[in-house]
Amino acid sequence: MPLVVREITRETPDIVSIRMQNADGSPLPAWQPGAHVDVQLITRHERQYSLCGDPADTASYRIAVRREELSRGGSHYIHAFLRDGSTVWVRPPRNLFELGEAPAYLLLAAGIGVTPILAMGRHLASTGADWRMVVAVRERDGVAFADEIAALGERARVHVSGEHGRLDLAAVLGAIAPGTDVYACGPAGFTDALLALAPTLPEGSGIHLERFEPRKREFGPSEPFTATAARSGVTVEVPATRSLRETLQGAGVAVSGSCLRGVCGSCAIPVLDGAVEHRDSLTVDDDARVIYTCVSRARAGSSLVLDV
């Protein structure tokens, strides 16, 4: 969808929020808290950004972008060159971080990870749910959407590590009641620390993470394997030096893709048969019957049959 930038707001010294609309102001596809959109710039960079506005606002989408010192091009362009009136291309919202049903919720964010968490907090507050939210930042001027967090009341608090020391995640998790589900978003150090604490959660509680970057994991060397696209009637030999996604595309099988790092989920294909070596950062069950084709492969000695 070609959307027009209608408002750019500096939220912190290195974070801007961007509001986008259809040129004629017509309604946009609906979304739920946790959803993100893929944004393609005039530079052809395509990146994923969580929606952090109000789902009830059908006329606009809002995202927030942090300027990255080691930017691959997207955040640099947005901060340096994007202006009101610019056109960006946006794929309809997808939700890989959806809020489930739970007796209670703990929402945790670090830095720019506040974007999906803010939408969740706003939604839970409107439904009368039992929830708490903690947003961790290094310095007070690094709090994005500070007024909106404050408007959520005493259930939402900001922890400034530069003033109070690092947030004690073990203590925060240790204080939740059984059955509380934890939803968290932030940089790798933050999400990895939470994942390491997952075994300490009380009975009936679970942890749900959204990552900005791939998990650091080790795998053996890539090996060739065979994959069959059942609906397309195409069988390909995937060499060790190419991804499944690249190979399928080269054979004329359309496969979406955006991050190409196993983070965004846009290249997912259901698996009908075969064993998958999940190299992505989304899968939590090694027996999952979905493969993220930009990074994941067949296990050694196996071939795959795909529903595509």
Q: State what percent of residues in the chain have pLDDT above 90.
A: 80
pTM (2 decimals)? Answer: 0.81
Please give the single-letter amino acid code of residue 289: R
What averages of pLDDT result for each successive group of 10 residues across the chain (308 residues)?
Answer: 96 96 96 94 82 94 88 78 94 92 97 96 96 96 95 96 95 96 94 92 93 77 96 96 96 86 86 95 84 95 95
pLDDT in the model for residue 133: 98
Give the Cα-Cα-Cα angle 185, 189, 190 (nearest 5 degrees): 35
Q: For residue 286, what pLDDT is reported?
A: 84
Domains and CATH numbers, the chain: 2-90 (2.40.30.10), 104-211 (3.40.50.80), 225-306 (3.10.20.30)
At 225 the pLDDT is: 97
**Predicted local confidence at residue 220, as pLDDT:** 87
In one-letter notation, the amino acid at residue 45 is H
Q: How far apart are the first and last CA of the chain?
A: 24
Bridge partners of 229, per DSSP, are 234, 306
Integer Cα distance of 241 and 222 in angstroms: 7
